[in-house]
Amino acid sequence: MKRTYIDMNDIRFLLFEVHGIEELTRHPRFAHVGGREEIELLLQTARDIADREMFPFYKEMDSQPVVYRDGGVRTHPQLRNIFRAVADAGWFAATTDFEDGGIQLPYTLFSTAHMIFEAANNSAQGYLGVSTGAIDLITTFGSEELKKTFVPPMMEGRWQGTMALTEPQAGSSLSDIRSTARPTPDGAFHISGQKIFISAGEHEACDNFIHLTLARIEGAPAGTKGISLFLIPKFLPSAEGDLVYNHVECVADFQKMGQRGYATTHLVFGETGPTVGYLVGEAHRGLACMFQMMNAARIAVGQTAAAIASAAYHYSLNYARERPQGRHILEKDPLKPQIPIIRHADIRRMLLAQKCFIEGSFSLVTECLKLVDLEKISEGEDQRRARLLLELLTPIVKTYPSEEGIRSVSQALQIFGGYGYTMDFDAQQYYRDIRIMAIYEGTTGIQSLDLLGRKVGMESGKALEYLAREISKVVEAAAQYEDLLPYAHRLQSAVSIWQSVLSHLQGFAGRGQLDRYLADANLFLELSSLVVMGWQWLKMGVTASGQWTGGRSLPTAFYQGKLQSMRYFFKYELPRIHS
């Protein structure tokens, strides 16, 4: 049986029927994209690249991992082909405006293509994702000069963009960043300092590396308010078109438990000679710039976790259909042939649990992606709604798939029994790969504080109000279908529990007991995630039962499968709110 890693029908269902991507493509900014047919073709190009250039090299990029040797980072030779294929198809330029030389696609569409890449080969996708993030940052905040010089080679996949935040003494605590920038007479800066855990910081598939780096201008205020954003190329392009070494040293590559095909580097600036950096955006406003990008990065982390789980799920499904083992519990005759393990109740449960997790997570991810676009193209109240909902959902879409994805991939591995633990099978690779997602771009602990400490109180709780309204809309729609009514009620009662927990906690905050208010922030995040996933599942249930934003054009069995997953969620997952 041919092995796959993601179901294109799930993507169709989410884009066209549940989340209505046409709402975006009808907007003048995206009108050139076309309709469903054009979008499907576009996604098919991504799938073809993933099938041909990425998925077949998933295992090899792990067993021949990135290493630091002879003063440089050595990567798998296929990485170069992947950069070529992705660049040729235009994916590096996908979200950039026409006027900056881009293709101006909706972020939703771009990121859905990346979801396919992530499922096929998450190490390979890492390089691509971080480069696009860097392009976005430069085109949003950079001067015309910086855009003109650095963005085109990055869009062509010849230069790699990175994000350089972390320093050895300052992990999650960005206010303790010590890298410094000293102004030079020509308006640039000389940067010195060290950065660790810099993904894609150096490799063999690109000629130059453009590090978007947080540093402190000499004399800047202490704390987060004194941090600026700089563009630091490894090589400075001269007027003649040569590349001149800028004293950006890569001194090490971190060996990791997973994502072993993805370089994680240690960079040193200004140690062997002057390192020139250019200010991006306003001085001392670097964190705000970076955080604009951070929301997208956090969605991407949750999305990658769900995509890895998707690949592991399809892998285990395939195995369960083919592996004979044991007999039905009521069959006592040992001479009967063994049955495929998919017929054992426990195996089916583990498959269904994975399916439910992945489909729910993909739906939430798509919801958030669309909000990114809506915030960009809408105005006034609509824009405020998109912005606040996105802020509120970001810690959830980052964390729920990252934490629950570990459990999902663990179930995939379990289906293989002892074989799942051996290096001969890929289950253990997915298991190792996904573990970083709960750490990347702010750990689960930090996301929990973000949700309870900042997001729920934002603009007098307006974000929560918007979310409650969205949930009500779905509950009302579900009430039209007799089969869905019980689930609508369960979601409503989950919302009530959630609201009363929040009021209880806010009692502490009101009395100034901020410690107690935040003590169980992680549990509040879990509770909120279950409510949000219930909302997504009911929305998918309505779509599968009749109509939500779009019509229904997929096979009937597909919709039946969705409703089965929905029932699984309401029966086995949502009740966890009671603990």
CA angle, 181 then 182 then 185, to 5°: 135
3 state DSSP class of 494: helix
**How far apart (Å, rounded) are the C-alpha atoms in residues 469 and 475?**
10
Helix axes 380-415, 345-377, angle to 10 degrees: 160
Q: Which is nearer to a second copy, 24 or 294 (CB)?
A: 294
Strand partners, 162: 211
- AA letter at 147: K
Q: Show Cβ contacts of residue 104 under 8 Å, excluding neighbours closer than 6 positions.
A: 29, 30, 32, 95, 96, 97, 98
- Is residue 120 a contact partner of residue 310, using CB atoms and an 8 Å limit? no
3 state DSSP class of 234: coil
Q: Which is nearer to a second copy, 208 or 399 (CB)?
A: 399
Helix axes 286-322, 107-120, angle to 10 degrees: 50
Exposed, middle or buried: residue 156 (CB in 10 Å: 0-12, 13-18, 19+)? middle
Q: Which is nearer to a second copy, 205 or 415 (CB)?
A: 415
3 state DSSP class of 182: strand
- Is residue 51 a contact partner of residue 121, using CB atoms and an 8 Å limit? no
Residue numbers annotated as active site: 441
106 to each of 97, 205, 399, how far by Cα in Å?
A: 10, 27, 24
Q: Which is nearer to a second copy, 95 or 429 (CB)?
A: 429
3 state DSSP class of 63: helix
Q: How far is the CB of 526 from a second copy (least distance, A)?
A: 11
| DSSP state letter for 221 | P
Per-residue burial over 474-486, b = 16 or more CB atoms within 10 Å of its CB, e = otherwise: bbebbeeeeebee
Q: Which is nearer to a second copy, 377 or 523 (CB)?
A: 523
DSSP 365-380: HHHHHHHHHHHHH--H
- Is residue 49 a contact partner of residue 85, using CB atoms and an 8 Å limit? yes
**How far apart (Å, rounded) are the C-alpha atoms in residues 374 and 383?**
7
Structure tokens at 557: 């069995």
Q: Which is nearer to a second copy, 184 or 422 (CB)?
A: 422
